[in-house]
C-alpha cells in the first residue's frame, strides 16, 4: 500500500499533537501563564515510550 508523501501516518508529530490536545482537555486557562503551566504539566506526563512508539509506527508504515 502506498502512502502520500505528506501523510500524517508518516509524521509522528501529528499523532503526538493529537495525544497532547486530548490530554490538555477543554480547560480554559485564566491567563497565558496558567496555559503555559498546564501545557508543561501535560507534556511532562507523556511517557518517552509513547513518543518512541509513534516514531516506530511511522517506520513500520514506511517499511510496509
Which strand (E) or helix (H) includes residue 20? helix 12-24
Report which of residues 14 and 7 the model is more confident about: 14
Nearest alpha carbon to residue 23 among 9, 5, 38: 38
If you search the block for the grid coordinates 507523556, which residue do you land on? Answer: 46
d(CA 6, CA 50): 22
Per-residue pLDDT tens digits for 14-61:
889 999 999 999 888 899 999 999 999 999 999 999 999 988 876 655
Give the phi and the psi of residue 52 in degrees, each rounded to 5. -60, -40
Its pTM stands at 0.68
Amino acid at each position: 500500500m502506498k502512502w502520500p508523501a505528506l501523510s500524517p501516518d508518516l509524521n509522528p508529530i501529528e499523532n503526538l499533537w493529537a495525544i497532547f490536545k486530548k490530554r490538555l482537555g477543554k480547560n480554559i486557562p485564566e491567563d497565558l501563564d496558567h496555559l503555559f503551566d498546564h501545557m508543561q504539566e501535560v507534556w511532562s506526563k507523556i511517557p518517552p515510550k509513547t513518543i518512541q512508539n509513534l516514531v516506530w509506527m511511522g517506520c513500520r508504515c514506511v517499511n510496509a
